[in-house]
């Protein structure tokens, strides 16, 4: 089971508490009536679907109930970091830093774990 860090609860929680909510950072058009049908289709349905790093929304459904954003690798399924909804997309350096500190934390907890 995956452990996902909720940025609001500031705790690692099991995957079953969360629901996936699609790609993050898709802004609703400011003036929807001005859009052509193709632009509206793109907004509604066209997603990046990358192989690798993906910015996505999750909801801590059975916890604090909040939506937040996560950076996950779609190949390895590893979460690089999570951050609060409304904050800008993190840069490469920030993601590398966050995933390195998360890796150090999990290594430490494995070391401290009881047999």
Residues that bind another protein (CB under 8 A): 1, 3, 8-17, 62-66
What is the smallest separation between the CB atom of 1 and another protein, expressed in angstroms? Answer: 6
User: Residue 67 pairs with which residues in a beta bridge?
Assistant: 59
E-strand stretches of the chain: 3-6, 11-14, 19-23, 53-59, 67-73, 79-84
CB closer to another protein out of 54 and 60: 60
CB closer to another protein out of 16 and 104: 16
**SS3 of residue 77 by DSSP:** coil
Q: State the DSSP H helix or E strand holding residue 111, giving kind and residue range, or none if neither.
A: helix 92-112
What is the smallest separation between the CB atom of 67 and another protein, expressed in angstroms? Answer: 11
CB closer to another protein out of 14 and 32: 14
What is the smallest separation between the CB atom of 23 and another protein, expressed in angstroms? Answer: 23
Give the distance from CA 93 to its chain's centroid: 16
């Amino acid at each position: 089971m995956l452990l996902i860090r909720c940025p609001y609860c500031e705790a690692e929680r099991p995957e079953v508490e969360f629901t996936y909510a699609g790609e993050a950072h898709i802004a609703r058009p400011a003036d929807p009536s001005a859009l052509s049908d193709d632009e509206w289709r793109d907004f509604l349905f066209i997603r990046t679907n990358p192989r690798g790093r993906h910015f996505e929304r999750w909801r801590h459904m059975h916890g604090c109930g909040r939506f937040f954003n996560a950076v996950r690798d779609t190949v390895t399924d590893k979460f690089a970091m999570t951050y609060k909804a409304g904050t800008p997309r993190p840069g490469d350096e920030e993601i590398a830093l966050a995933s390195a500190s998360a890796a150090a934390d999990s290594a430490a907890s494995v070391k401290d774990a009881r047999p």
